[in-house]
C-alpha cells in the first residue's frame, strides 16, 4: 500500500473474524503481477476436503485440509496470485492478471466463474454479500456467495466508479453501497449509494483512502492518511489521527466489538516504514487509541479473535493478543521465529489467518504452516510444504 506498484489486495461464525480483513488488506496502491497460466491440476477428480485452507506459492496454489493441514491438492497457476474467502463454506476468490477467479476449494478445482478486469483489488464480505473492486476499471461487482454453488457466474449488482483507482466497496445490510472516490493519482474519500445506485452522501476529507472494516452495529470505516472515516446511520464522521500524517491503511473488524483494529504509520517519505504501534478505533465514541507493541508487523499481521480480541503477528514471532477495550496486551503466543518485513510487498512474509478459535500462521523461511489454538496458545499441528508460501486464506461463512 505504500508504492505505486502495489495492489490487490476470517468465521465459521460472524464473530470469528474481521468483517473484511486484512480483508481485504493489501500491500500497495497500484496493481502489478506476473503473467499467469490458465490454472491446471491433474486430470483425476479430487475428493472433497473439509474446511480447506488455500496458500499461494510461486507457481500455483496449495489446498490443505483445515484440520490436519494435509496437502490435498496442488494447482498450477503461474505469477503472483492473491486469495480471499468468497463468503461460503466452499469457495475462495483468486486474483489473477485477467480478473477475479473463483476456486472451489472444497472440490479442489478452479471454476469457470470469472470477473474479468485489469488489476483486481479488494474482496469484502459483509451482511451476506461479497463485493469485488477492480482497480483497473473502477468496476464494483456484488454477489451472493450462496449462488456460487451452482457453478454459474452469479447475477448481481454492479457499479462503476467515476474514475478507475485502487479502491474498495462494501454493501450494507440495508442495500446501501459505500465505495471509495479517487483517481489513479489521488484518492480522496468515499460516497454512499442507495439500492438504485443514486448517491446519498459523500465525504472527501479522507486523503489516500485505503482499506475498510466493519464493527458492531454496522459502523463502516475506511482508512485515511490522517485518521479514519466512519460511516454509520446515514452519516460520515472523521476521526483524526494524533499526527499530521497518521496513516491507517489496513483494518480488521469484528461483529463482537465496536472497536476496529488498524495499522498506523507516520513516515510519509519512508520507502518502507516498519511501525510498532497499532490503532484501536472506537466507532461508538469516535475516538482513536494508539498501542505500542514493541515490535513491528506487516499488512498481513492483523486479525480478530472469536470474542473480538485484536490479534497482531509481530516480527518477534509472536501473536500479540490485545484487549480491544483497554488496549492492554494480554498474552503473547509464540508462533514462528523472528522475521523482518521485506521491502517488496509481494515478497513472502509470515501471514496470519484466523478462523473460529484457530490461528493459522505461515512461516515461509521454513516452508511451514502452523495451526494454533487461540484459547490455549498451543500449536495443534504443523506441516512442511514443498515450497515456501506467500498468501494464506480459506473458506469462511458469514461476514
**What pLDDT was estimated at residue 25?**
52
How large is the average pLDDT for residues 114-119?
97
Average confidence score pLDDT of the chain = 90
Residue whose cell numbers read 498474552? 331
Residue 80 vs residue 167, higher pLDDT: 167
* 302-316 pLDDT per residue, tens: 999 999 999 999 999
CA–CA distances in Å: residue 128 to residues 74, 173, 175, 195, 396:
30, 8, 11, 16, 12
* 85-105 pLDDT per residue, tens: 999 999 999 999 899 999 999
- C-alpha 218/C-alpha 254 separation (Å) is 10
How large is the average pLDDT for residues 15-20?
37
In this model, does residue 151 exceed pLDDT 90? no
The pTM of the full predicted model, rounded to 2 decimals, is 0.90
* 318-329 pLDDT per residue, tens: 999 999 999 999
The alpha carbon of residue 220 and the mean position of all alpha carbons in its chain are separated, in whole angstroms, by: 15
Percent of the chain with pLDDT over 70: 88
Lowest mean pLDDT among 38-47, 213-222, 387-396: 38-47
Give the DSSP letter of residue 45.
P
In this model, does residue 155 exceed pLDDT 60? yes
CB 35 within 8 A of CB 97: yes
How large is the average pLDDT for residues 67-93?
96
In this model, does residue 202 exceed pLDDT 90? yes
Beta-strand runs (E) in 97-247: 99-104, 109-116, 120-126, 129-134, 139-143, 158-160, 169-171, 177-182, 187-193, 199-203, 210-215, 219-224, 227-232, 235-240
pLDDT-derived band at 27 (thresholds 50, 70, 90) equals low
In this model, does residue 7 exceed pLDDT 90? no
pLDDT-derived band at 30 (thresholds 50, 70, 90) equals very low
pLDDT-derived band at 15 (thresholds 50, 70, 90) equals very low
* 225-284 pLDDT per residue, tens: 999 999 999 999 999 999 999 999 999 999 999 999 999 999 999 999 999 999 999 999
CA–CA distances in Å: residue 172 to residues 94, 127, 199:
23, 6, 14
Q: Which residues contact 75 (CB under 8 A, 6 or more apart)?
A: 39, 40, 41, 60, 61, 63, 103, 108, 109, 110
- What is the number of helices (H) and of strands (E) in the chain? 0, 32
- C-alpha 307/C-alpha 166 separation (Å) is 32
- C-alpha 103/C-alpha 119 separation (Å) is 18
In this model, does residue 9 exceed pLDDT 90? no
Residue 219 vs residue 12, higher pLDDT: 219
- C-alpha 85/C-alpha 25 separation (Å) is 12
Amino acid at each position: 500500500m505504500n508504492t505505486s506498484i502495489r495492489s490487490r489486495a476470517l468465521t465459521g461464525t460472524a464473530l470469528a473474524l474481521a468483517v473484511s480483513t486484512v480483508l481485504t488488506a493489501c500491500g500497495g496502491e497500484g496493481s502489478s503481477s506476473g503473467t499467469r497460466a490458465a490454472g491446471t491440476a491433474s486430470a483425476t477428480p479430487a475428493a472433497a476436503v473439509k474446511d480447506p485452507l488455500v496458500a499461494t506459492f510461486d507457481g500455483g496454489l496449495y489446498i490443505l485440509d483445515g484440520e490436519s493441514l494435509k496437502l490435498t491438492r496442488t494447482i498450477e497457476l503461474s505469477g503472483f496470485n492473491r486469495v480471499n474467502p468468497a463468503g461460503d463454506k466452499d469457495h475462495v476468490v483468486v486474483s489473477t492478471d485477467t480478473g477475479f477467479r473463483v476456486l472451489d476449494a472444497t472440490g479442489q478445482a478452479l471454476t469457470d466463474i470469472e470477473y474479468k478486469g485489469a488489476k483486481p483489488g479488494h474482496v469484502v464480505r459483509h451482511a451476506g454479500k461479497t463485493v469485488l473492486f477492480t482497480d483497473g476499471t473502477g468496476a464494483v461487482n456484488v454477489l451472493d456467495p450462496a449462488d456460487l454453488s451452482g457453478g454459474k457466474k452469479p447475477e448481481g449488482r454492479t457499479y462503476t466508479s467515476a474514475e478507475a483507482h485502487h479502491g474498495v466497496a462494501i454493501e450494507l445490510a440495508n442495500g446501501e453501497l459505500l465505495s471509495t472516490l479517487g483517481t489513479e493519482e489521488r484518492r480522496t474519500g468515499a460516497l454512499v449509494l442507495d439500492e438504485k445506485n443514486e448517491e446519498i452522501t459523500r465525504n472527501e476529507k479522507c486523503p489516500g483512502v485505503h482499506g475498510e472494516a466493519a464493527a458492531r452495529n454496522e459502523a463502516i470505516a475506511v482508512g485515511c492518511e490522517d485518521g479514519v472515516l466512519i460511516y454509520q446511520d446515514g452519516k460520515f464522521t472523521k476521526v483524526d489521527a494524533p499526527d499530521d500524517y497518521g496513516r491507517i491503511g489496513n483494518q480488521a473488524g469484528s461483529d463482537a466489538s465496536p472497536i476496529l483494529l488498524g495499522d498506523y504509520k507516520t513516515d510519509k517519505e519512508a520507502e518502507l516504514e516498519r511501525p510498532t504501534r497499532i490503532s484501536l478505533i472506537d466507532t461508538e465514541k469516535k475516538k482513536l487509541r494508539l498501542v505500542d507493541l514493541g515490535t513491528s508487523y506487516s499488512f498481513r499481521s492483523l486479525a480478530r479473535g472469536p470474542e473480538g480480541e485484536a490479534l497482531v503477528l509481530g516480527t518477534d514471532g509472536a501473536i500479540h493478543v490485545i484487549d480491544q477495550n483497554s488496549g492492554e496486551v494480554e498474552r503473547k503466543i509464540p508462533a514462528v521465529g523472528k522475521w523482518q518485513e521485506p521491502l517488496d510487498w509481494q515478497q513472502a512474509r509470515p501471514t496470519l489467518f484466523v478462523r473460529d478459535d484457530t490461528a493459522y500462521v505461515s512461516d515461509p523461511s521454513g516452508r511451514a504452516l502452523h495451526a494454533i489454538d487461540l484459547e490455549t496458545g498451543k500449536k495443534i499441528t504443523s506441516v512442511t510444504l514443498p515450497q515456501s508460501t506467500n498468501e494464506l486464506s480459506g473458506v469462511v461463512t458469514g461476514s
